[in-house]
Structure 1
């Protein structure tokens, strides 16, 4: 018997050092990359942002850029069979919804360890995921 079920493991990433480390630790711990889902959540574009005003960027180009970045950054054989998705919306809500709709058994998420005013103003995605996720959540701190 294992402590964590590993049929479907979700690792949300924001391309920070902590998130990259969480992905590497999930790969080391679970091994089978066919069971690992990785998502990146983009905030929706605001109509007043310069790229939208000048029509130089759209959601499709942003998604394509993130997919290219992921495949460049994680190009090794160890990452070949990972299921990678880019979503649009509120990060914590999208992570929770993805976990529910894809029968995720465990979420492995990094915490940036913010405290004080920055945590109050920015909130904690990891904290909201822990509170509302439909499965166990493993929070990795630096």
Structure 2
């Protein structure tokens, strides 16, 4: 049923819960796991620190490399094939584009479960991916 499972991660506890679900599905269906970290371009170029945007993006990219490698190590320990990628862009768009380009059968991602005003103010990458993705999306709510 699933050959390629995409797990976008930001290194949060919320994403870690989703990784566990993706890993279980990958073992069950003998699928490959794709781990993706998106350096969010919306974070740079504003305020006084705009001059240091290149340094900030490089630091975030290095963090992303560390995050995906940590997840990949866990996936390899489970004897599941894994691919890691770090890209720069708008998270929901990059996640959907990656899923399309790599022909992923499923996207598994965490959600904080925010509602009401906090979701409106903070936005929800998971919600945007659910609405925009051609692949099925499994959202996993962070444990309380």
Normalised by the size of structure 1, how large is the TM-score? 0.80
CA deviation after TM superposition for structure 1 residue 60, in Å:
4.2
* Cα distance change, pair 49–93 in 1 and its aligned pair in 2 (3 A): farther
- Secondary structure at the aligned position of 1:64 is classed as helix
Unaligned runs of 5+ in 1: none
Q: Which residue of 2 aligns with 1:30?
A: 26
Unaligned runs of 5+ in 2: none
For 2:87 and 2:37, how far apart are their aligned partners in 1?
A: 6
Does 2:67 align with 1:43?
no
CA deviation after TM superposition for structure 1 residue 55, in Å:
7.4
- Secondary structure at the aligned position of 2:78 is classed as helix
CA deviation after TM superposition for structure 1 residue 107, in Å:
0.7
> Contact 1:109/1:137 (CA < 8 Å) preserved in 2?
yes
Normalised by the size of structure 2, how large is the TM-score? 0.79
Cα RMSD (Å): 2.6
Q: Which residue of 2 aligns with 1:57?
A: 55
Does 2:20 align with 1:20?
no
